[in-house]
Structure formats: C-alpha cells, structure tokens
C-alpha cells in the first residue's frame, strides 16, 4: 500500500477507541474486553456498511482491525478509479 493511502487514526469519541475518515469512508475501531477489537466502516456517499451485514467485523487484535481497514480502503480506491475510467 502506498503511504498516501495510510489511514491516520485519531482518538475516538464516545464508544469508539479510534476513528478515521479517508476517501469518503468513516472508520471506527472499538475495543471489547471479551471480543477483542471491532471495525466499522461506512461509505459516506451512500451510507453503505463495508464491514459486514451487522456493521462490525470483530478481530482479535487492533493490528488486524487496522489491516482490515487498509484492505477496505485499497478496494474502495480501486472501485473509485474504475468508475472514473468509465466516465472518461
């Protein structure tokens, strides 16, 4: 992944531990003592949940949540690039 696509995580508010917004996607990482870490990703343009049908993908570690978020970002960037090619 190129460095320009790296997600810059900020301290979360309310229930989330960390949050970020990049490329029109809002990411949240949650910490649950019994379930590890959860990732929520929502595309802002159409409010589509990008993690699972229930909205949160659970991972054992924060590192895995970050990697999952980066994979979502790469996929979204590819989707956006492909759709812009169709327009051009």
Structure token pair of residue 28: 């949240």
Q: 48-88, pLDDT tens digit by residue?
A: 999 987 889 999 999 999 999 999 999 999 988 888 777 66
**Residues with Cβ < 8 Å from 75, sequence gap 6 or more?**
none
Q: pTM of the predicted model, to two decimals?
A: 0.84
Q: 2-16, pLDDT tens digit by residue?
A: 445 589 999 998 889
Structure token pair of residue 14: 């309310």
What is the CB-side half-sphere exposure of residue 62 using CA atoms within 13 A? Answer: 11
């Amino acid at each position: 992944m190129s460095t320009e696509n790296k997600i810059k995580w900020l301290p979360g508010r309310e229930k989330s531990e960390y949050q970020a917004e990049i490329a029109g996607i809002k990411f949240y990482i949650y910490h649950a003592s019994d379930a590890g870490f959860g990732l929520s990703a929502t595309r802002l343009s159409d409010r589509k949940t990008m993690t699972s049908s229930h909205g949160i993908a659970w991972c054992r570690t924060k590192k895995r949540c970050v990697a999952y978020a980066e994979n979502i970002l790469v996929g979204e960037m590819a989707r956006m690039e492909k759709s812009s090619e169709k327009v051009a």
